[in-house]
Chains A and B, each alone.
Chain A
């Protein structure tokens, strides 16, 4: 047992025991001071930050659909991942992009990276350096993956690449000509791509990918979006979007599914699962407090009636 494990254990016992004690003292008719609630919230948020706690997220069908698609594609399939977000959205959606990148590269797919956001390119480079550079040093650029970067024109870009990829992206970001990039062998347009993953939620983003590429080109599209826009994407599921990762929770579900299938990923960075730790624990504590409050309310009402 490491120090972290011990710290985690003690904190959890403290939180759990504390709640039990509160419940019992509540049954005896004591009111819960709100400062005690504050203390529990502080502990439930601070503990997972100090001693990372991850909960076994079970993937919901919408998220599992994306995972299964990447999983079921044969080795060497072409996957396009588009970073359609800016720095403001990044904390929520970049973990998704990273997780899907890891998964695709592990499965041996050839990945094409691009961005419809000018500010997305820097984030894309960041992800490539962190995920591909550090975790898959054996992979070669252009042979196993390619970064074509950002092109201005929003849905206009999509309108072109649905029929001709080279026209819009004659070279990759390093000015390597299209024809000498191995990833593009046999790829003329987006119709030859096996899966498109759009990560974003703004404009242009998932919706444009569906309307301009997915539907006309009959290419499967998967989506990763911020939590606030997720409800607006549901009407497209499952016909036009095969699956959706919504917010930090969606990303965490994907990460956990990844770990379930490839245990070695547990060693790697899983920011969404890490973010979910404080969230889940705090939600749990709040829910337990609501339950305690209601039980005590009914008990006290019964007592009053009894009198």
Chain B
């Protein structure tokens, strides 16, 4: 069945077999040793005279290794379980792991179940030296393993476990920057129409004609959420239009920081439009951090002030539909956008236009119309191209690999999975 190439895959198995045999020899030695009555009598707590002594072998090949790519905080331990630790009729009841710091007294670190063969000790200090040993215990016997060579966790400066993450970030980030640059130099770029954003002008115009305010809701999360950030950047573009048309904007927010940021943004827009005197801080109001308290207030504003246009741009949760339905009931044109997949259906159902996920983040670039901003959208498409290519190759290779057991294809899948797995 196997092609010549795959013989290399036997190597680990052979190595494992070798290890196993070595261990077995070692174990039998230790086993013989624990039969020694002297050794047993040494530990008085172990010997229980009235019942039969259940002697067990200790664990072997206990190795302590520095976890390579960290700040010098973690040591990984691995061992081969005691041969008396078996799935059926195990004599070993469990293990106790001890740690010695800087030649101090041994301290119990953890109790482990049968079958355990590894442990990660975190939150260590790179200045200290650590050594470990394990006890395997039966109901009346304790077998102690050899101590590990003392080591200290080391601080690494670069995490090579994340090299593929870096590679992908580099390629996609690089593509975005490349297309921004090339657009800046005057290369023409095509960007398809996004219906929701095409409608922005019209929606603002409508509010102007009707003499009613525009309501802008930036979601209910704070500035540390990237969707709120997207909402604020869109606000930047929208408020420029609003300033040009001299329409009224109303923006209740549920976070104080968002209030501050939104005020700066709108103020800047009015300055750019040459109407700084028209701006007032009253355009943006803080309501409350409480999710449904905010919703109650916004619903109230909607039915009382009857905005002509409502923008819902940012992170929304359950309130999405309450807001969108109330907005709909007062006859507002609603343009919504969120990157929360669970809330998108409600916006689709109740709003006139919805920006789906990626479109929300692309919106401010699209609305700006500046070539360099549009260039970044082209960069995103490179990322999509990579995703599609990877999925296509991955699916085909997986299909051929599993259906006809083609080893090369399985290797392709393995390699792709490593590339697209993050640490």
Q: Tell me, yes or no, whether B28 is within 8 Å of chain A by CB.
A: no
Contact code string A213-224 (vs B, CB < 8 Å = 1, else 0): 000100000000
Contact code string B315-336 (vs A, CB < 8 Å = 1, else 0): 0000000000000010000000
Contact code string A251-290 (vs B, CB < 8 Å = 1, else 0): 0000000000000000000000000000000000000000
Residues of B within 8 A of A34 (CB): 329
- Bound together, the chains give a CA A175 to CA B423 distance in angstroms of 47
Q: Tell me, yes or no, whether B369 is within 8 Å of chain A by CB.
A: no
Q: Measured between C-beta atoms, what is the minimum distance from A21 to chain B in Å?
A: 23
* Interface contact B88-A159, CB-CB below 8 Å: no
Q: Tell me, yes or no, whether A171 is within 8 Å of chain B by CB.
A: no
Q: Tell me, yes or no, whether A77 is within 8 Å of chain B by CB.
A: no
Q: Tell me, yes or no, whether A153 is within 8 Å of chain B by CB.
A: yes
Choice from A153, A156, A163 contacting B88 with Cβ under 8 Å: A163
Q: Tell me, yes or no, whether B113 is within 8 Å of chain A by CB.
A: yes
* Interface contact B89-A163, CB-CB below 8 Å: yes
* Interface contact B89-A156, CB-CB below 8 Å: no
* Interface contact B114-A159, CB-CB below 8 Å: yes
* Interface contact A159-B329, CB-CB below 8 Å: no
Q: Which of B110-127 contact A (CB under 8 A)?
A: 113-115
Q: Measured between C-beta atoms, what is the minimum distance from B352 to chain A in Å?
A: 17
Residues of A within 8 A of B210 (CB): none
* Interface contact B89-A159, CB-CB below 8 Å: no
Choice from A153, A163, A164, A216 contacting B113 with Cβ under 8 Å: A153
* Interface contact A156-B87, CB-CB below 8 Å: no
Residues of A within 8 A of B115 (CB): 159
Residues of A within 8 A of B329 (CB): 34
Q: Which of A2-58 contact B (CB under 8 A)?
A: 34
| Size category of the binding interface on chain B | under 10
Q: Which of B86-116 contact A (CB under 8 A)?
A: 87-89, 113-115
Residues of A within 8 A of B89 (CB): 163-164
Q: Measured between C-beta atoms, what is the minimum distance from B272 to chain A in Å?
A: 41
Residues of A within 8 A of B113 (CB): 153, 156, 159
Contact code string A155-166 (vs B, CB < 8 Å = 1, else 0): 010011001100
Q: Measured between C-beta atoms, what is the minimum distance from A211 to chain B in Å?
A: 13
- Bound together, the chains give a CA A216 to CA B86 distance in angstroms of 14
Residues of B within 8 A of A164 (CB): 89
- Bound together, the chains give a CA A160 to CA B87 distance in angstroms of 8
Residues of B within 8 A of A159 (CB): 87, 113-115
Q: Which of A130-183 contact B (CB under 8 A)?
A: 153, 156, 159-160, 163-164
Q: Measured between C-beta atoms, what is the minimum distance from A141 to chain B in Å?
A: 29
Q: Measured between C-beta atoms, what is the minimum distance from A151 to chain B in Å?
A: 12
Q: Measured between C-beta atoms, what is the minimum distance from A168 to chain B in Å?
A: 11
Residues of B within 8 A of A163 (CB): 87-89
- Bound together, the chains give a CA A160 to CA B115 distance in angstroms of 11
- Bound together, the chains give a CA A163 to CA B87 distance in angstroms of 8
Q: Measured between C-beta atoms, what is the minimum distance from A197 to chain B in Å?
A: 24
- Bound together, the chains give a CA A153 to CA B111 distance in angstroms of 11
Closest to A189 in B: B88
Q: Measured between C-beta atoms, what is the minimum distance from B18 to chain A in Å?
A: 29
- Bound together, the chains give a CA A34 to CA B329 distance in angstroms of 9
- Bound together, the chains give a CA A55 to CA B282 distance in angstroms of 55
Q: Measured between C-beta atoms, what is the minimum distance from A94 to chain B in Å?
A: 25
- Bound together, the chains give a CA A261 to CA B270 distance in angstroms of 74
Q: Measured between C-beta atoms, what is the minimum distance from B166 to chain A in Å?
A: 32
Q: Measured between C-beta atoms, what is the minimum distance from B103 to chain A in Å?
A: 33
Residues of A within 8 A of B88 (CB): 163
- What 3 A-B pairs have minimum CB-CB distances, sorted nearest first? A156-B113, A163-B88, A34-B329
